[in-house]
Amino acid sequence: MLKKNVLICGATGYIGLQLTKLLCKHKHINIKYLCGSSSVGKKIDFYDKDLKKFKLPKISKFNKKYLSDVDIIFTALPNGEAQFISKYLNKNNLLIDLAADFRLNTKNEYEKWYKIKHSASNLIKDSIYSIPEISGKLIKKFKIISCPGCYPTTVLIPLIPLIKRNLIKNKTIIIDSKSGYSGAGRGVHKKYKNKNLYESLSAYGLANHRHNSEIQQELDLKTGKKNKFHFTPHLTPMFRGILSTIYVDIKKGASLRKIQNVLINHYKSHKFVKISKINTFLSTNDVINTNNCLISVCNSKYKDKIIILSAIDNLIKGGGGQAVQNMNYYFKFNEGEGLNV
């Protein structure tokens, strides 16, 4: 099988570097171009010594002419920049965006939450929001794949099947999520310079975090119901990993065992969603450097309430790994190719 030629835009960010590492080990991929802005002319191993052993191109400035030489474009860029690149796509290109430019289904919703004019709104219809375990074969119909945010990945994977099966009340969901600071990108040290980043825990984005929009959109679309939830993210003094603690009320006739079995059966054919034994206490350490989403269903002190723990590595399952997994689904490669990290 001929290798697919790849262009990575934003290769030196935390997620861009992780994506590059994964693609270097993918047997069906040839990395043809690495693009950046302030890093132009440098070697990628300047930013991560682990990449020194791979033969990779120097970082260059994006040029639309590159698109005629590649099959896949990965954009790990600030919000708004994938829209610019998407205008130059040809019929042979697949764009996989790791930012938010195509996560929301309407121009108005995007501009409301991101405060950026959407300059490629005519292409929204050609894009799909894709957690691969949920979208599956549908992605083949689209030329733009939008990878979900890291927080929503931990939330949507456990909640969608439970709401669809009418096992939990969908108006009283509380989501408490904690992330390593790499989730805020390489500029995190400037953005949070007054927060004692390495020794403190900070809540932020209460009621208005941008990921509210995609959680709401996908919960409603995938379950056919109007759902209500509270979502509070926290920045923690660790580099990577996310742990979401989700509090839900169960419906009459549901039980801890039934809920666990529904999740096991729903994801039994998906190697990267793993359901732990009931009442297992999860740690981000359980998922670091994997593409896994690890889920545990736990008792609370009330019989009609349960606690769901959901953990991922935000740079892999919440970033570069999910992008590679979506690519594998699209081209019918082995689902785990390049992801045995």
Per-domain residue ranges for the chain?
4-148+318-331, 150-315
192 pLDDT more than 90: no
Cα maximum dimension of the chain? 62
CA-to-CA dists, residue 242 to 26, 89, 285, 295, angstroms: 25, 33, 10, 12
Query: What's the mean pLDDT in 26-34?
Result: 98
190 pLDDT more than 70: no
Structure tokens at 312: 């991922």
For position 183, what pLDDT does the model report? 75
Contact of 321 with 288, CB cutoff 8 Å:
no
Whole-angstrom distance, CA of residue 252 vs CA of residue 304? 8
- High-pLDDT (> 90) share of the chain, %: 90
Residue 160 contacts by C-beta under 8 Å, 6 or more apart in sequence? 134, 218, 219, 222, 223
Q: What is the mean pLDDT of the chain?
A: 95
Whole-angstrom distance, CA of residue 73 vs CA of residue 147? 13
The band of 207, judged by pLDDT with boundaries at 50, 70 and 90, is confident
- The edge-to-edge listing of strands for the beta sheet with 273-275 is 202-203, 229-236, 173-180, 242-249, 305-312, 293-299, 273-275
Query: What's the mean pLDDT in 71-77?
Result: 97
Query: What's the mean pLDDT in 143-157?
Result: 98
275 pLDDT more than 90: yes
Higher pLDDT, 138 or 185: 138
Instruction: Report the CATH fold assignment for 150-315.
Output: Dihydrodipicolinate Reductase; domain 2 (3.30.360)
For position 335, what pLDDT does the model report? 94
Whole-angstrom distance, CA of residue 262 vs CA of residue 281? 20
Query: What's the mean pLDDT in 115-119?
Result: 96
Task: Give 4-148+318-331's CATH code, choosing from 3.40.50.300, 3.40.640.10, 3.40.50.720, 3.90.480.20.
Answer: 3.40.50.720
Query: What's the mean pLDDT in 37-49?
Result: 92
187 pLDDT more than 80: no
Structure tokens at 27: 């047997």
185 pLDDT more than 80: no
Give the residue numbers marked as catalytic: 150
